[in-house]
Structures are given as structure tokens and as C-alpha cells.
């Protein structure tokens, strides 16, 4: 499908059962594969990113059975992948590429890790630097500090290491998940500011489910005490995806609501549940239960019933994109701060977001790490053709423009990265 035309929609209302969290799914798959014992996983996300992880683990010799939708049974390999030589294609899945790099560097095997062309523009050098501190032998097959990578068998000498924290938290997450495999005590220090910190909390929580503890004095220093092994928790249910929830929650805030998402709630492990704090600051009404979140707002679609905000988005890098499009329905200028990491994700998201918001008539200012969005004086420009840059979140965010104007989404199938049936679900809440 080359494009999808979304007609002007007057209101949003209904209930959506969320697909499983991408971030939890790929962590749980990897930890199940590394654990002793069999793990019965339910509500696993079925999308391109999790498919890349599943495929890679199977190539590495892990037995994974698929029984019914979202249910996977993984027989763990007790810390050592049986296959010692493999080529892995990891698409554009950061949650597969970065953690697998760290784990495979310790496996005394010979591995090639590649991805789509955009993955080869997404940095991995800080992670490789950290792994080289303990003896890992990794070479860059293309541009220095970027995938594709070749990992050679190496003698690992566990020692205290440091890693940069300001490009992607996935480097630290990868190290945290991999280093218990050495069995030795190791302390990881983070150089500079750690971005996307809730994803580190998520990593530590998932490791704890598999019996491995991380000691943490601050968000700059993490100790793995040594002599710990991953043990299967037997069964594990993946929470709904809080980033995927953001589109529906924004819809409820923009176009009346109530819109309820089911699958995440007040005790969620995912940082993106805090997106609702931004919506609340914009004037939306929020209700949260144990396993659901509901939003409602002004009942006149496209009426700019919301208030502009100035928001630090460091802790919600993915849901922050939803905020940029929600800003079209707020009075005044919304500023999103601390979003420098957007530049090295599926596309340069600051550039892409600026270009596409302007097509709708918004005034946009941007810098290295911020975006400022002012809606047009009158209505949004109708029938804009929004380019999506092979970025699932660009496609999903801009569906929200249809609450103000009819809009065309180019290459809508890019949502397959994390939410293959997004547009069907979106249609369920529009009236
Ligand atoms: O660890 C994770 O699951 C993720 C961490 C974040 O990346 P950065 O740490 O690169 O910001 C986030 O954007 C990504 O979608 C998922
Ligand atoms: C940044 C993202 O993905 P990745 O896990 O590939 O980094 C995302 O899903 O918005």
C-alpha cells in the first residue's frame, strides 16, 4: 500500500486492547533464551522488531515454539548459545541489535550482525568501546562506530567498565543483560548524562524476573555482584505497549473521548505511561486503573481545546513524538526539550517531524535537542501528503492530524516495526 487517506474525523471514543510492549518482549525473549529452564511467554508483541529477535535466537540454536497468538515457549540455553558461527539480520530493531551485540561479544563465537541501511547509520560505537574494555574483539565492517559488525572469538577479562550514556540507553541495557554471563562481579559507570533512564529501570526489572539482581547506587553506577545465573520464571505475561498507547490516549485528549487503553496501568514498568502527565498538563482528563488508562478532552474535534506546554521529554523519547502532533490541537506554542536522541532513531526525527508538521500549516522551530510547534492561525492545511521516512512512529503520530483535517499517510505499512494493525485499531476509535 503506497498511501492511506484518512478522512476528517469528528470524535474519538472506545476501548483498545494494546499489543505487547516491544521493549519488554525483546528483553524477555533474550533473557528466556539465556536462562536455565523453559519460559512460557504470553502476549508477546508480534511485529517486525520482535520477529528479528526471534529469528536471531533460533539461528543461534535456541528452541522456540509458537503455540497460539502471542504465546511462545522458549527453552533456555543456560547462558551459552549452541551455535558459534552465524550471520544475523536485525532489521532496524535497536532492542535486538544492541543487546545481542553485547551478549554475542561474550560467546567465544564468530558472528556477523547486520541490519537495514538505516540501522547502519545508527551509532553503536559507545557499546563497542565498552565491550573492548573487557577484551571483546569486534570490528566495524562499514563505517567506523556503526553497524554492520563482525564479532570474533575472544578471551573476556571481566573488569569494571564505563559506557557513554548520552546517545542511547540501549548500550547500558545491553551491557547489564550480558555481563552476568561472565559470572564475575563487574561495575559499570556511566559517562555523562544517562538518557532514556526509564528503559534502564525496565531492564533491571526484567533481569530481576529472571533471578539476577543489579545493585545501583545512582543512575551513574551499576554493580553486578557475580555468581548469578538467569533462571526462568516459568511463565511471564508481557504488558501492553505504553508507547503504542500514546496515540490512542492523545486521540481521547484531542477529540472528546473517553478513549481507554487496556494492558497498561498505574504500576506499569514502562516509562512511556508518564506521557499522560504531559496530556494532563495540556488540560486532558486522565483516569488510571491497575490495567487501563483512559483520557478525555474537549468534545469539538480540532477545536484546540488543549493548552500548549513546555516539556522535558528525556524520560519519554518515543511518546514525545505523539506530543509533537498533539501540539497541533493546543492553543499557543508547545516546546519539547531534551530530544537530541531523536536524530539517531528510525530517521532524523527532529528533521522529519519539522518538515511534516509544516505541511499541515504549523510553524516549527527546531535545534539540536528541541522542537517548538505553533499551530496555524486558522485550520490545518487539508489533504497534506505526510511522508513517514520508514518510521513507524511518524505514521502513527500523524494519524492524529485527521482530527483536524483530512490527511494522507504515505507508506503506512512501516507501522509493522511495532504495531502491524495500527490503522485498523485507530479506525475502531474514530467516529
Ligand atoms: O531500551 C529500549 O527498549 C528502548 C530505549 C529507547 O531508546 P534510546 O535509549 O536509544 O533512547 C527507546 O527509544 C526505544 O524505542 C526502546
Ligand atoms: C527508537 C525506536 O526503536 P529502536 O528500538 O529500534 O531504538 C522506537 O521504537 O521508537
- Segment holding 216, helix H or strand E: strand 215-218
DSSP string, 158-209: ---EEEE-SS-THHHHHHHHHGGGG-S-EEEEEESPPPSTHHHHHHHHHHHH
Helix (H, G, I), strand (E, B) or coil at 81: coil
If one residue of 23, 92, 192 were mutated to test the ligand 1 pocket, choosing by the most ligand atoms within 8 A of its CB, it would be 23
> Which cell numbers hold the place of 58?
533460533
Helix-then-strand count for the chain, H and E = 12, 25
Cβ(11)–Cβ(428) under 8 Å?
A: no
Question: Are 3-18+239-429 and 22-224 equal in CATH topology?
Answer: yes
User: Phi then psi for 284, rounded to 5 degrees?
Assistant: -75, 155
Class of domain 22-224: alpha beta
What are the structural domain ranges in the chain? 3-18+239-429, 22-224
If one residue of 171, 339, 417 were mutated to test the ligand 2 pocket, choosing by the most ligand atoms within 8 A of its CB, it would be 417
pTM: 0.98
Tens of pLDDT, residues 323-382:
999 999 999 999 999 999 999 999 999 999 999 999 999 999 999 999 999 999 999 999
State the pLDDT at residue 301. Answer: 53
- CATH number for the domain whose boundaries are 3-18+239-429: 3.65.10.10
Tens of pLDDT, residues 32-43:
999 999 999 999
Cβ(374)–Cβ(366) under 8 Å?
A: no
Q: Is residue 368 flagged as an active site residue? A: no
> Which cell numbers hold the place of 221?
553506577
| Alpha helices, DSSP H, located in 241-360 | 242-254, 275-281, 319-326, 349-359
**Pocket around ligand 1: residues whose beta carbon is below 6 Å from it?**
23, 94-95, 168-170, 173, 195-196, 199, 317-318, 341
* Distance spanning both ends of the chain, measured CA to CA: 24
Q: How many CB atoms lie within 10 A of CB 69?
A: 9
Tens of pLDDT, residues 198-217:
999 999 999 999 999 999 98
> Which cell numbers hold the place of 289?
486503573
23 marked among binding-site residues: yes
Helix (H, G, I), strand (E, B) or coil at 418: coil
> Which cell numbers hold the place of 205?
526489572
Q: What share of the chain is helix, strand, coil (3-state, %, to 5)?
A: 35, 25, 40
> Which cell numbers hold the place of 56?
536471531
Helix (H, G, I), strand (E, B) or coil at 228: coil
State the pLDDT at residue 288. Answer: 98
Mean pLDDT, the chain, whole residue set:
97
pLDDT of 300 strictly over 80? no
Amino acid at each position: 500500500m503506497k498511501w492511506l487517506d484518512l478522512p476528517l474525523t469528528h470524535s474519538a471514543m472506545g476501548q483498545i486492547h494494546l499489543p505487547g510492549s516491544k521493549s519488554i518482549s525483546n528483553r524477555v525473549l533474550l533473557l528466556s533464551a539465556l536462562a536455565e529452564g523453559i519460559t512460557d511467554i504470553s502476549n508477546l508483541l508480534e511485529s517486525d522488531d520482535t520477529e528479528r529477535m526471534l529469528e536471531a535466537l533460533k539461528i543461534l540454536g535456541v528452541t522456540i515454539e509458537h503455540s497460539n497468538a502471542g504465546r511462545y515457549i522458549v527453552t533456555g540455553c543456560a547462558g551459552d548459545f549452541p551455535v558459534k558461527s552465524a550471520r544475523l539480520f536485525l532489521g532496524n530493531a535497536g532492542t535486538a541489535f544492541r543487546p545481542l551485540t553485547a551478549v554475542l561479544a561474550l560467546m567465544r563465537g564468530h558472528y556477523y550482525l547486520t541490519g537495514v541501511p538505516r540501522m547502519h547509520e545508527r551509532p553503536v560505537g559507545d557499546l563497542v568501546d565498552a565491550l573492548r574494555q573487557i577484551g571483546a574483539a569486534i570490528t566495524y565492517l562499514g563505517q567506523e562506530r556503526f553497524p554492520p559488525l563482525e564479532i570474533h572469538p575472544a578471551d573476556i577479562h571481566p573488569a569494571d567498565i564505563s559506557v557513554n550514556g548520552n546517545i542511547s540507553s540501549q548500550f547500558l541495557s545491553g551491557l547489564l543483560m550480558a555481563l552476568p554471563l561472565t559470572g564475575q562481579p563487574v561495575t559499570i559507570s556511566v559517562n555523562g548524562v544517562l538518557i532514556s533512564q526509564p528503559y534502564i529501570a525496565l531492564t533491571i526489572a526484567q533481569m530481576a524476573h529472571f533471578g539476577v539482581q543489579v545493585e545501583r547506587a545512582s543512575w551513574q553506577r551499576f554493580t553486578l555482584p557475580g555468581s548469578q545465573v538467569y533462571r526462568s520464571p516459568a511463565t511471564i505475561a508481557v504488558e501492553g505497549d505504553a508507547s503504542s498507547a500514546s496515540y490512542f490516549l492523545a486521540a481521547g485528549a484531542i477529540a472528546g473521548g473517553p478513549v481507554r487503553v487496556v494492558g497498561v496501568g498505574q504500576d506499569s514498568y514502562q516509562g512511556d505511561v508518564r506521557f499522560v502527565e504531559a496530556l494532563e498538563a495540556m488540560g486532558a482528563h486522565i483516569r488510571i486503573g491497575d490495567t487501563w488508562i483512559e483520557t478525555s478532552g474537549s468534545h469539538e474535534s480540532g477545536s484546540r481545546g488543549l493548552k500548549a506546554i513546555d516539556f522535558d521529554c528525556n524520560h519519554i523519547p518515543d511518546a514525545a513524538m505523539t506530543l509533537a502532533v498533539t501540539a497541533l490541537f493546543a492553543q499557543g506554542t508547545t516546546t519539547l526539550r531534551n530530544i537530541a536522541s531523536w536524530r539517531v532513531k528510525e530517521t532524523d526525527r527532529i528533521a522529519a517531524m519539522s518538515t511534516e508538521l509544516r505541511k499541515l500549516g504549523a510553524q516549527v522551530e527546531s535545534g539540536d535537542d528541541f522542537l517548538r510547534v505553533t499551530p496555524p492561525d486558522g485550520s490545518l492545511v487539508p489533504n497534506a501528503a505526510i511522508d513517514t521516512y520508514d518510521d513507524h512512529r511518524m505514521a502513527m503520530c500523524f494519524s492524529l492530524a485527521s482530527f483536524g483535517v483530512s490527511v494522507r499517510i504515505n507508506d503506512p505499512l512501516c507501522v509493522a516495526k511495532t504495531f502491524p494493525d495500527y490503522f485498523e485499531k485507530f479506525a475502531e476509535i474514530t467516529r
